[in-house]
Amino acid sequence: MKTKHTPGPWNLKQTHTPGPWCIMDNVIYSDDDTAVCMITSYRDMTPRQAANARLIASAPALLEALQWALAQIEDDLDLDHQAALAKAQAAIAKATGE
């Protein structure tokens, strides 16, 4: 499947910038070392920032899994699957910007 976003997987790498401010950069990179996102803080990440960074880094895998699940559901449509199908389609549309 062709995507408009940077292909996954994405990984979180943490670096510390020396100096009086103790800046920490938490950069999410793709496998080809393309920077996808950076979370900068003046101290260690808060638990919420760390959770957000993990969620962002997992986005390609989550999208791939949801697309696979949607294909499985579409192959076996019945009334019990309609709500799951609608949720999966909405999530994929939001993730891909369609």
The per-residue pLDDT for range 29-63, each reduced to its tens digit, is 888 888 888 877 767 777 887 788 888 888 888 88
- Give the contacts of 89 (CB within 8 A, at least 6 positions apart): 70
What is the arithmetic mean of pLDDT over 70-91?
76
pLDDT category of residue 18 using cuts at 50, 70 and 90: low
In terms of Cα–Cα distance, which of 72, 79, 61 is closest to 7?
61
Three-state DSSP at 40 gives strand
Among residues 4, 1, 5, 2, which one has the least CA distance to residue 59?
Answer: 5
Q: What is the pTM of this model?
A: 0.66
CA atoms within 13 A on the CB side of 95: 20
